[in-house]
Structure 1
């Protein structure tokens, strides 16, 4: 039998090929085993079924591998693009995760190795140990006389029945009943009055606790606006309220006090309050030396609150309100004091929710020489005074506002030195070891967040630059008593008034102010604030 005839290679063709099929010598998509398995040459030209066309309308089903060489190439391109996007997203997530890990690591390391304002000077701990014995007066080692003042708006009675009242009672115990006078002025609703009466029954020291449901704004000086209407400055109202808590000091028979502690409606540690009073800027004998010493108050675990009343050593306003709080403007000495972890950061003014004062500035001086010195100092102020005793006040200029809590420091501080090259120490200090808050949760967190706050300094400097901090104040560099030229609103009956350049003697509080006007709303509606900010005319 003859051997079978070998077929010529050309004879292996199983199906006829069109010219389209032979056009390309080699196709990568056709060589792909996945596409090869999905389609044969005879299937490629098959018309899609109606079901396939319907399924392709759905977003996920429509992403199935398309048929045909052109469709497969487009699909592969989309798939590769999606892969690259997923890869980029993974890289971004990795970078963010790595950065988060680095920041967390730095925070933990800083909190352990170099925490901020966590370890106060030794005499702070000594006072704390003595006070912790719980014996009355143990927090007041020299038996200094302390006048505690507070103004409250306690509509629902939460302060009089809550943590604030408990803290005040504990503070009185630490100071000693015989060494303490408590003065509270409150206005609010019936619940606040009831709570205050219950609180008064627990107070064992000398006291003056006054409740008024409403303060008559007619008792507060009024201003005349450009349209002829009369309004009450909000700052003048607040100053009047604060001064009412100081009225017992006007009594000629009043005791002489060494310290005055002014409290806001804050949550605070009573042990830190006595440290503010008796440990701030202590001399070699352990005696605290200051004209005023302020705590640092927080509205949340990171954000400093009282920016309106605080000015650095050169009178600049605050930076972005988180550590180190002060900007790098000028010599930035207040900022450097914070970096150096000083317990007496030199400033021109502060408040911080709780302030300790040298009480002599708030009492009538029996020494004639001292009274004459005070008269000369306060005569430079633009605001009129009935006496040389320091009291809260407002700036009299229209369309110029300054916090009453800043102006009180402007009136009692040491004047700037004659030589501009010498360092300034006004006797006003901010103590970052003593921190208060406006709710218990924030106060509980302050011990944690302060430990790693040193890390904020670089972002703080960058954000200050971006935000344009500190704000410009044309009166910042004024020296009290010197003749200056200021732009002030001058009343004119014919057209209401306008801003004009006026020469006059500078007051003490030029660095406190800004071009603004806040006034009281006499009868606010439900949910409306009791004050408003009026627009400043003339484009200011």
Structure 2
């Protein structure tokens, strides 16, 4: 009997040989399925190619999205940024978590002066997360080790009531001052084009910050650390790390002139670019990780990418700053003296006295407490550090996200470099490399003799100060009688 059976009436059951199925074209199979007659005009080749193109484009986009997600997940798991605490940070955290005793976060019982200047019209800061965090921090430091000074002005009745409620809850030594209206008569004014007398915004900000420091002049107590707080949401444990863990020596003692947190206006964007300068005095790159540009030697950027807790900078702020308190107390001797003779002790916040030149008071204070630099291109350390382990935000929701977004931020470094070059960051500063005490040529605004605010920019020779790296051209003045919803300051256009 034959072994092969053939059913001519059942043609559909026949299969081609295996080798033919393996090597036949998919496209050929597709052709085989098409009707043998002519296609309608709507189904001819252009429409078919368009559908194939869109199908392939969707496939490629899905593939790219999958690769990006995979990179993000792998980076978060295996190369997280600033999430694995150094051993001495973990030791301090463990000491805090394993006890409820006051002062458990202050292992050497250091004396800490906490200062803040507030504007809190709704009272939400003093009554809310900020006030609670300050009270927790005082408990962790030990009430006997802390002096709290808060100055608030022009915040209205709700702000005043909230501040009084907070004052009633404070258990350490304190100075809680509320002024219904700050007298502006003592502040320096500048004649602007048009002839009006205006007060610089930085002059005003420096004054209110200094008012929070006034109790230092009246206290016989010598403090080890000064912690200056903005109106930020912060973790009290991270405030302890800023104070006692930053740049710790082998003895475990933190060593710095100043140590700054990193502040965020949203889960990705670094906020305080105005006050921060890298180790060679360059302004910031784009305000996302690693924040600093590669200009000059790029040492600050390299420190961030290396994951150090002591990123070397010339100035910073970051919403929360720990200072060596000796610079701010009577009897201190500052290492530098500026052209405005602010080198006398103690250190205080100030503004630039050039009309159309601005520098943040939070940068100028760092200029005054660091050693004078004779060659900014060769600076290796200033004693001023940014600590990216310590992060704060301007709302609690953003603060809650910072533990997640930092895990994959190392992926930003390449696009950060690329976009910095495309947009030309950092901005040029003609005074960045000036050496204090040496004669430098500077372009300054020279008023005319009429005193009507008119004048001209002129290139003049004068003795350089210690703060050229902080500045940039411009003039911002306060709005003394602002209306509801109006900002408290405005920009005066640069004369041409």
TM-score greater than 0.5 by the shorter chain: yes
Where does residue 489 of structure 2 map in the other structure? 531
Alignment equivalent of 1:279, drawn from 245, 248, 253: 245
Number of paired residues? 458
TM-superposed CA distance for 1:483, in Å, is 1.0
Where does residue 106 of structure 1 map in the other structure? 71
Where does residue 198 of structure 1 map in the other structure? 165
Superposition TM-score, scaled by structure 1 size:
0.82
Matched, 1:435 2:391: yes
Alignment equivalent of 1:97, drawn from 46, 51, 62: 62
Task: Supply the distance in 1 between the matched residues of 2:474 and 2:368 (Cα, whole angstroms).
Answer: 21
Task: Supply the distance in 1 between the matched residues of 2:107 and 2:194 (Cα, whole angstroms).
Answer: 58
Alignment equivalent of 2:216, drawn from 249, 254, 268: 249
Task: Supply the distance in 2 between the matched residues of 1:164 and 1:421 (Cα, whole angstroms).
Answer: 40
TM-superposed CA distance for 1:384, in Å, is 4.2
What are the within-5 Å matches in structure 2 for residues 332-481 of structure 1? 332-365=298-331, 371=333, 374=334, 377-379=335-337, 381-385=338-342, 387-416=344-373, 418=374, 422-481=378-437
Alignment equivalent of 2:468, drawn from 507, 510, 519: 510
Deviations 1:456-484 (A, max 9, x none): 00010011011110000000001111111
Give the conservation status (yes or no) of the 8 Å contact 1:226–1:491. Answer: no
Task: Supply the distance in 1 between the matched residues of 2:442 and 2:475 (Cα, whole angstroms).
Answer: 17
Where does residue 81 of structure 2 map in the other structure? 116
Cα distance 1:364–1:443, how it changes in 2: closer, same or farther (>3 A)?
same
Task: Supply the distance in 2 between the matched residues of 1:91 and 1:506 (Cα, whole angstroms).
Answer: 63
Cα distance 1:449–1:502, how it changes in 2: closer, same or farther (>3 A)?
same
Unpaired runs of 5+ residues, structure 2, are 1-34
Where does residue 145 of structure 2 map in the other structure? 179
Where does residue 300 of structure 1 map in the other structure? 266
Task: Supply the distance in 2 between the matched residues of 1:338 and 1:350 (Cα, whole angstroms).
Answer: 14
Task: Supply the distance in 1 between the matched residues of 2:200 and 2:387 (Cα, whole angstroms).
Answer: 31
TM-superposed CA distance for 1:76, in Å, is 4.7
Deviations 1:80-122 (A, max 9, x none): 3333333323222222211111111111111111111011210
Cα root mean square deviation, aligned: 1.7
Give the conservation status (yes or no) of the 8 Å contact 1:347–1:428. Answer: yes
1:485 is paired with a residue whose SS is strand
Alignment equivalent of 1:156, drawn from 122, 143, 152: 122
Deviations 1:420-469 (A, max 9, x none): 67542111000000001111111111111101110000010011011110
Deviations 1:44-85 (A, max 9, x none): xxxxxxxxxxxxxxxxxxxxxxxxxxxx65x455xx333333
Give the conservation status (yes or no) of the 8 Å contact 1:248–1:254. Answer: no
Give the conservation status (yes or no) of the 8 Å contact 2:256–2:324. Answer: yes
Task: Supply the distance in 2 between the matched residues of 1:508 and 1:434 (Cα, whole angstroms).
Answer: 28
Where does residue 444 of structure 2 map in the other structure? 488
1:330 is paired with a residue whose SS is coil
Where does residue 53 of structure 2 map in the other structure? 88
Task: Supply the distance in 1 between the matched residues of 2:259 and 2:57 (Cα, whole angstroms).
Answer: 48
Where does residue 216 of structure 1 map in the other structure? 183
Give the conservation status (yes or no) of the 8 Å contact 2:281–2:470. Answer: yes
Task: Supply the distance in 2 between the matched residues of 1:83 and 1:511 (Cα, whole angstroms).
Answer: 63
Task: Supply the distance in 2 between the matched residues of 1:92 and 1:382 (Cα, whole angstroms).
Answer: 64
Give the conservation status (yes or no) of the 8 Å contact 1:414–1:425. Answer: no
Deviations 1:145-189 (A, max 9, x none): 000000111101101110001100000000001000000001201
2:169 is paired with a residue whose SS is coil
2:272 is paired with a residue whose SS is coil
Unpaired runs of 5+ residues, structure 1, are 1-30, 36-71
Task: Supply the distance in 2 between the matched residues of 1:348 and 1:326 (Cα, whole angstroms).
Answer: 12
Deviations 1:290-348 (A, max 9, x none): 00000000111111000000000000000000000000101000000011100000000
Give the conservation status (yes or no) of the 8 Å contact 2:235–2:392. Answer: yes
Task: Supply the distance in 1 between the matched residues of 2:146 and 2:424 (Cα, whole angstroms).
Answer: 45
Task: Supply the distance in 2 between the matched residues of 1:165 and 1:362 (Cα, whole angstroms).
Answer: 25
Give the conservation status (yes or no) of the 8 Å contact 1:164–1:265. Answer: yes
Deviations 1:373-407 (A, max 9, x none): x3xx443x133449421100000001100111011
Task: Supply the distance in 2 between the matched residues of 1:522 and 1:256 (Cα, whole angstroms).
Answer: 37
Give the conservation status (yes or no) of the 8 Å contact 2:336–2:371. Answer: no
Task: Supply the distance in 2 between the matched residues of 1:33 and 1:89 (Cα, whole angstroms).
Answer: 26
